[in-house]
């Protein structure tokens, strides 16, 4: 993003706001596809950022939807329903029955419990449609089912005419960097799929695997060779001793780099030899995975940029809580009220994971940037109106 473009955005839109760059987003997806096996499909986890889904519709094979709200958003964005995987731990009968009966029946539905499977089975039978179901295998938490439960379902239901059990879904966490963990997971999945085949006569057509690829947010001196990382992961995945379609569910890894968060310094003071800048945004808008009491310095820009001797500044948000710390000890040159700090890698979860309604501050604007063209996707929204 050029300095001229930053200035143009700041002249048009009051801070704080998010900017999501479609060119960066598309380049990111193409980078991932280029460094993974050509027959791997990509599934975008919509919860990472609901605003950017339409900009990669021609590059993404699937969209993981985990709530009625996300489903409504994808419908409004005219995402092909056959690309949707309706997932999530809480699916109401009203949602499932209504959606399966509608003209927008999804490509896949996940069963994360015996109760959910029974619900899907009943809805499929009532609709007369043959839906595709992915059985979620737990990694040891509240999500998914034990191997024994999945085996029981397949043993009794693999030939049901109302639905097709197309495969297994598995997700074990986020920000994973350990190749040993990936190897353990792939080995476990391979053995389980072969067991279903050899003992129950069930040939899984697909495996949806939530990899939890890492994103580095902080200037901590650590180098991350992502090309080498993806090559190692691809080699491990190639060792999956089972022939089925593999789709990788990615959210953070796809969305993070396309986003920036703009927030302006609106007040300053120095207390006990510490410089404090009050920003018009705060922790209710910008939440990085792995941040620890603002001690780490995220990747950022300053507008306008100035030369000179640097002083350390503590950047605080506009919430009335001492916990509203964005960054501690950030070295800045000639920092002034009215200057804008641009936090990078804010494309994933930052707009959706923060405590947005805490203290009833306004929700920030959301802007899509296609080349030099800025489109306001959502204006700043007040949580309530003052009459004065």
**How do residues 342-369 score in pLDDT, each as one tens digit?**
999 999 988 777 677 777 777 889 999 9
Tell me which of 137-151, 205-219, 243-257, 373-387 is least confident: 373-387
Task: Please state, in angstroms and rounded to a whole number, the distance separating the CA atoms of residues 49 and 386.
Answer: 30
pLDDT of residue 228: 95
| C-alpha 4, offset from chain centre | 30
pLDDT of residue 106: 92
Band of pLDDT at residue 382, cut at 50, 70 and 90: low
pLDDT of residue 294: 66
pLDDT of residue 290: 58
In tens, the pLDDT along 268-297 reads: 999 999 999 999 999 888 877 656 556 788
pLDDT of residue 361: 76
CA atoms in the 13 A half-sphere facing the CB of 333: 8
H-state helical runs in the chain: 3-12, 22-34, 68-76, 93-101, 114-127, 147-157, 179-200, 226-238, 252-255, 350-353
In tens, the pLDDT along 293-348 reads: 567 888 999 999 999 999 999 999 999 988 889 999 999 999 999 999 999 999 99
pLDDT of residue 387: 53
First to last CA, the chain: 39
In tens, the pLDDT along 158-198 reads: 999 999 999 999 998 888 989 999 999 999 999 999 999 99
In tens, the pLDDT along 67-107 reads: 999 999 999 999 999 999 999 988 889 889 989 988 889 99
Contacts of residues 265-269 at CB distance under 8 Å and 24 or more positions apart, as own/partner, are 265/315, 265/335, 265/336, 265/337, 265/338, 265/339, 265/340, 265/341, 266/318, 266/337, 267/337, 268/335, 268/336, 268/337
pLDDT of residue 38: 87
pLDDT of residue 383: 55
What's the average model confidence in pLDDT over 19-38?
A: 96
In which residue are the tokens 């379609």 written? Answer: 245
pLDDT of residue 351: 74
pLDDT of residue 193: 96
The two counts, helices (H) then strands (E), for the chain are 10, 17
In tens, the pLDDT along 35-55 reads: 998 899 999 999 999 999 999
Q: How far is CA 339 from CA 328, 329, 342, 361, in A?
A: 17, 17, 10, 21
pLDDT of residue 359: 72
């Amino acid at each position: 993003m050029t300095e001229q473009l930053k200035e143009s955005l700041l002249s048009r839109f009051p801070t704080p706001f998010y900017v999501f760059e479609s060119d960066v987003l598309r380049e990111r997806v193409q980078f991932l596809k280029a460094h993974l096996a050509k027959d791997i499909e990509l599934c975008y986890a919509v919860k990472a950022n609901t605003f950017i889904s339409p900009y990669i519709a021609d590059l993404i094979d699937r969209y993981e939807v985990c709530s009625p709200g996300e489903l409504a958003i994808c419908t409004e964005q005219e995402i092909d329903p056959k690309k949707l995987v309706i997932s999530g731990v809480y699916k109401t009968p009203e949602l499932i029955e209504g959606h399966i009966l509608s003209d927008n029946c999804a490509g896949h539905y996940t069963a994360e419990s015996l109760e959910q499977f029974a619900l899907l089975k009943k809805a499929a039978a009532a609709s007369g449609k043959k839906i595709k179901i992915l059985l979620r295998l737990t990694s040891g938490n509240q999500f998914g089912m034990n191997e024994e439960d999945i085996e029981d379902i397949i043993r009794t239901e693999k030939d049901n005419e109302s639905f097709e059990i197309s495969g297994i879904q598995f997700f074990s966490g986020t920000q994973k960097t350990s190749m040993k963990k990936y190897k353990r997971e792939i080995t476990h999945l391979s053995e389980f799929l072969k067991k279903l085949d050899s003992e129950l006569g069930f040939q899984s057509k697909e495996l949806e695997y939530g990899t939890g690829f890492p994103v580095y947010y902080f200037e901590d001196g650590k180098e991350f060779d992502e090309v080498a990382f993806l090559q190692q992961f691809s080699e491990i995945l190639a060792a999956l001793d089972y022939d089925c379609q593999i789709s990788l569910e990615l959210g953070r890894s796809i969305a993070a780099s396309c986003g920036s968060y703009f927030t302006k310094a609106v007040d300053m003071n120095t207390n006990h030899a510490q410089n404090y800048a009050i920003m018009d945004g705060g922790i209710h808008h910008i939440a990085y995975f792995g941040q620890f009491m603002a001690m780490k310095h995220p990747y950022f820009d300053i507008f306008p940029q100035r030369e000179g001797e640097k002083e350390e500044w503590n950047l605080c948000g506009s919430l009335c809580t001492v916990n509203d710390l964005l960054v501690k000890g950030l070295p800045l040159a000639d920092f002034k009220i009215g200057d804008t700090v641009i936090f990078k890698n804010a494309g994933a979860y930052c707009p959706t994971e923060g405590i947005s309604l805490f203290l009833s501050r306004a929700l920030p604007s959301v802007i899509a940037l296609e080349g030099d063209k800025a489109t306001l996707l959502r204006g700043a929204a007040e949580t309530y109106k003052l009459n004065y």
